Amino acid sequence: MASTKVTFEVPAELRELMKRYPEVNWSAVFRDALVRHSRLIEAARGILAEDEDRRILELSRELKRGTAERDRRAQHARRR
Amino acid sequence: MRVVVDASVVAASLVDPGGWTARELARTDVQWFAPQFLREELEENATRLSGFAGCSREAFLRRVRSLTHVELVSPEDLAAAEDHPLVAKAATVDPDDVTYLKAVVAVRADYLWTRDEGLLRAFPGLAVLVVPE
């Protein structure tokens, strides 16, 4: 997978802490955190979209049925 | 351009009044139409239908009344269109779609905007699904 460089600004205290543990691959730590957080956002968006779609579908079904019923009743009334 | 919107499009705009569908329906360079029966259904059953939209009855009615650019097709105009071949075809696909095809004929619409797969398949070129660019 192609990679690209991203620069982050962190508080000075955090930078000092990172320097205290040079054996840690901080880049990998950041990358993993970003991946986890991005997946959470994607999942939340997906759930919201699905819920909205379900509500649209249900409301649509109700409206379609109700509108048709009114039209049929008007049609019967005209023919009587 | 004259476009009839069906229940699925109106439902999408009511569930998400700040969404793309609702914003499209506010466009003034398109003439929007819907059967008057649809509006009556929305107003008379607002209490029950607001649950589907996830809002209060009052908020639901505000959303309905904000659809000011959608002109209503009267029952008389719909009745005058009931013998048209497009209407007869709609009856064979789904009898509940007949009213929207009557509206298309009544106002001589260029398109029927719908999210309904049955209509999209049955009326290619007339029934369209509009998606955000």
Instruction: Report yes or no: A25 at the B interface, CB cutoff 8 Å.
Output: no
Q: Say if strands B31-35 and B127-128 run parallel, antiparallel, or are unpaired.
A: unpaired
Q: Provide the 3-class DSSP secondary structure of residue B60.
A: helix
> Taking all residues of chain B, what is their mean pLDDT, rounded to a whole number?
93
Dist CA A60 CA B113 (whole Å): 13
* Neighbour-count burial for B97-132, b at 16+ CB within 10 Å, e otherwise: bbbbbbbbbbbebebbbbbbeebeebbeebbbeeee
- Whether the pLDDT of residue B88 is over 90: the answer is yes
**Residues of A with CB below 8 A from B53's CB?**
55, 59
Query: Stretch B30-52: mean pLDDT, rounded?
Result: 96
Instruction: Report yes or no: A58 at the B interface, CB cutoff 8 Å.
Output: yes
Q: B2-124: which CATH topology?
A: Rossmann fold (3.40.50)
pLDDT tens figures, B90-125:
999 999 999 999 999 999 999 999 988 889 989 988
**Residues of B with CB below 8 A from A74's CB?**
37, 75, 78-79
**Residue A1: which pLDDT band, with cuts at 50, 70 and 90?**
low
- Whether the pLDDT of residue B34 is over 80: the answer is yes
**Residues of A with CB below 8 A from B37's CB?**
66-67, 70-71, 74
pTM recorded for the entire structure = 0.77
Domain range annotation of chain A: 12-79
